């Protein structure tokens, strides 16, 4: 994948840093994150080359900053859950960019969770921690209605994501879900599932994380009333039998 051979990797990185008005200390942490993705043999990503990762991982994650700022600015907890964090996206770039918020990187795989812990230590991210758990397990671990925002990229269809997020969100909190090209059937299923869980679809915002990117969208849902106590269902049920 190429994103304009006329622009160097460092030039792309500088463009991302400038676009989001990041300070040098934040930029240095993001450089270390790119190095971890490139050099750690256990990094759980197919995109290791910094030339690609600066766009696919950094720019794509940071494009949600305006929506995240809106989500955390309305009297909700300044705590964010990154469900299925994997290689740490979008959670780690967002945690670097917004040090005033706390981030739980939620990952069920032990191998991936260990990678995340190494990166959090290497970046000295005092506002981020790793939870080795499935999303459905978190409400029973004291995280019910604990979060002002839930972010999730490339994990599951929207109807499943709303069930993961709804029990975790405080009232007024928001789910931000990264998706590619719009899928009317998937969106309709998400709209059907959301009201049963206390969520309301708000917006589908097209974004262009970097020049030449296509078909990137952020789906926004808001928690407008309490989630019924029977949710989430048992681990795996939301994926096998989505409400929508």
CATH code for the domain in which residue 178 is found: 3.40.50.150
Number of domains observed in the structure of the chain:
1
Confidence class of residue 8 from pLDDT cuts 50, 70 and 90?
A: low
Question: What are 183-204's pLDDT values in tens digits?
Answer: 999 999 999 999 999 999 999 9
Full residue range of the structural domain in which residue 132 is found: 64-240
CA nearest neighbour of 178 among 220, 128, 239: 220
Q: What is the pLDDT of residue 175?
A: 98
Q: What is the pLDDT of residue 244?
A: 80
The distance between the two most distant Cα atoms of the chain, rounded to a whole number of Å, is 54
Q: Is residue 155 part of a domain?
A: yes
Q: Mean pLDDT score of the chain, rounded to an integer?
A: 95
- CB-based contacts of 69, cutoff 8 Å, min separation 6: 98
User: Is the pTM of the predicted complex or chain greater than 0.85?
Assistant: yes
Q: What is the pLDDT of residue 10?
A: 86
How many CA atoms within 13 Å lie on the side-chain side of 126? Answer: 2
Q: Is residue 214 part of a domain?
A: yes
Higher pLDDT pick, 32 / 244: 32
Listed range (47-51, 88-92, 139-143, 236-240) with the worst mean pLDDT: 47-51
Q: What is the pLDDT of residue 5?
A: 41
CA angle 174-178-181, nearest 5°?
Answer: 130
By the 8 A CB rule, do 147 and 221 touch? no
CA nearest neighbour of 13 among 50, 39, 66: 50
């Amino acid at each position: 994948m190429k994103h304009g051979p006329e622009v160097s990797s460092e030039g792309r990185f500088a463009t991302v840093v400038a676009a989001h008005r990041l300070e040098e200390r934040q930029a240095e942490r993001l450089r270390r994150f790119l190095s971890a993705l490139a050099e750690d043999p256990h990094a759980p990503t197919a995109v290791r080359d910094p030339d690609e990762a600066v766009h696919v991982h950094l720019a794509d994650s940071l494009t949600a900053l305006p929506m995240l700022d809106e989500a955390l600015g309305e009297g909700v907890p300044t705590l964010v859950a990154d469900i299925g964090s994997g290689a740490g996206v979008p959670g780690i770039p967002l945690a670097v960019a917004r040090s005033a918020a706390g981030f739980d990187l939620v990952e069920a795989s032990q191998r991936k969770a260990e990678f995340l812990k190494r990166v959090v230590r290497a970046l000295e991210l005092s506002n981020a921690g790793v939870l080795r758990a499935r999303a459905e397990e978190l409400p029973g671990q004291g995280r019910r209605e604990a979060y002002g925002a839930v972010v999730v990229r490339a994990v599951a269809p929207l109807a499943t994501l709303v069930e993961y997020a709804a029990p975790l969100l405080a009232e007024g909190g928001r789910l931000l879900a990264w998706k590619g090209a719009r899928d009317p059937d998937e969106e309709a299923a998400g709209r059907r599932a959301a009201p049963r869980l206390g969520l309301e679809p708000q917006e589908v915002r097209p974004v262009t994380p970097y020049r030449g990117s296509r078909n990137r969208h952020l789906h926004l849902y808001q928690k407008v009333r309490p989630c019924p106590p029977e949710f989430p269902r048992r681990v795996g049920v939301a994926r096998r039998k989505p409400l929508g």
